[in-house]
Structure 1
Amino acid sequence: MIKYFRLLLLPFSVLYGIVVLIRNKLYDTGVFKQTGFDLPVICVGNLVVGGSGKSPVTEYLVQLLSDRKIAILSRGYGRKTKGYILANQMATAETIGDEPMQFYRKFPNVTVAVCEDRVLGINRLCKEHDVILLDDAFQHRRLKPGFSVLLFEYQKLLSTQFLLPAGNLREPFSGYQRADVLLVTKAPEMITEAQKSLCRSKFDSANVPELFFSYLVYHELVHLTSLENKPWSSILPTTTVFLLTGIANPQPLLLHLRQYTNLISHYDYPDHYQYNRNNIQELIKAYHEDPSDSKIIITTEKDAQRLLDAVLKELLLNLPVFYLPVKIAVQEEDKVTFDQKILDYVSSTTRDY
Structure 2
Amino acid sequence: MWLEIGRQHLSLWRNIEIVMVNAMIPWGNHLLLPLGTLREPFSALKRADVVIVHHADMASKLEIQAIESMVHKYNESVPIFFSILAPSHFIRVGNISYTCPLKDISHAILLCVSAIGSADSFVQRIHKMGPMHVDRLDFSDHHSFQPKDIDIIRKRLHKLESDFSAVPMMVVTEKDYFRRPEVLEHLGYEVLVLCSSLQILPLKGCNEESFKKCLRQHLEIYNLA
Match of 1:146 in 2: 15
Asked if the contact 2:23/2:59 (under 8 Å) is kept, the reply is no
Deviation at 1:189, TM superposition (A): 6.7
Match of 2:213 in 1: 340
Count of aligned pairs: 215
Matched residues in 1 for 2:27 and 2:179: separation? 32
Q: What SS is found at the alignment partner of 2:84?
A: strand
Matched residues in 2 for 1:145 and 1:338: separation? 18
* 222 and 346 in structure 1: CA distance in 2 versus 1, 3 angstrom threshold: same
Match of 2:44 in 1: 175
Deviation at 1:210, TM superposition (A): 1.4
Asked if the contact 1:213/1:330 (under 8 Å) is kept, the reply is yes
Pick the aligned partner of 1:250 from 96, 119, 133: 119
Q: Which amino acid is the alignment partner of residue 282 of structure 1?
A: I
Asked if the contact 2:56/2:64 (under 8 Å) is kept, the reply is no
Q: Gapped runs of 5+ residues in structure 1?
A: 1-44, 48-134
Match of 1:213 in 2: 82
Asked if the contact 2:45/2:75 (under 8 Å) is kept, the reply is no
Asked if the contact 1:280/1:315 (under 8 Å) is kept, the reply is no
Matched residues in 2 for 1:343 and 1:225: separation? 40
Matched residues in 2 for 1:273 and 1:326: separation? 20
Kindly indicate whether residue 68 of structure 2 is the aligned counterpart of residue 200 of structure 1.
yes
Q: Gapped runs of 5+ residues in structure 2?
A: none
The higher radius of gyration belongs to 1
Matched residues in 2 for 1:155 and 1:287: separation? 28
Asked if the contact 1:217/1:329 (under 8 Å) is kept, the reply is yes
Asked if the contact 2:27/2:37 (under 8 Å) is kept, the reply is no
Kindly indicate whether residue 190 of structure 2 is the aligned counterpart of residue 326 of structure 1.
no
Deviation at 1:313, TM superposition (A): 4.6
Match of 2:186 in 1: 315
Match of 2:148 in 1: 278
Q: What SS is found at the alignment partner of 1:270?
A: coil
Matched residues in 1 for 2:136 and 2:213: separation? 40
Asked if the contact 1:281/1:315 (under 8 Å) is kept, the reply is no
Q: What SS is found at the alignment partner of 1:325?
A: strand
Asked if the contact 1:161/1:168 (under 8 Å) is kept, the reply is yes
Deviation at 1:342, TM superposition (A): 1.3
Q: What SS is found at the alignment partner of 1:275?
A: coil
Pick the aligned partner of 2:157 from 249, 270, 287: 287
TM-score (norm 2): 0.82
Asked if the contact 2:90/2:100 (under 8 Å) is kept, the reply is yes
Kindly indicate whether residue 2 of structure 2 is the aligned counterpart of residue 46 of structure 1.
yes
Identity %: 21
Kindly indicate whether residue 176 of structure 2 is the aligned counterpart of residue 303 of structure 1.
yes
Q: Which amino acid is the alignment partner of residue 334 of structure 1?
A: C
Asked if the contact 2:106/2:132 (under 8 Å) is kept, the reply is no
Deviation at 1:154, TM superposition (A): 0.7
Superposition CA RMSD, Å: 2.7
Pick the aligned partner of 1:264 from 134, 140, 143: 134
TM-score (norm 1): 0.54
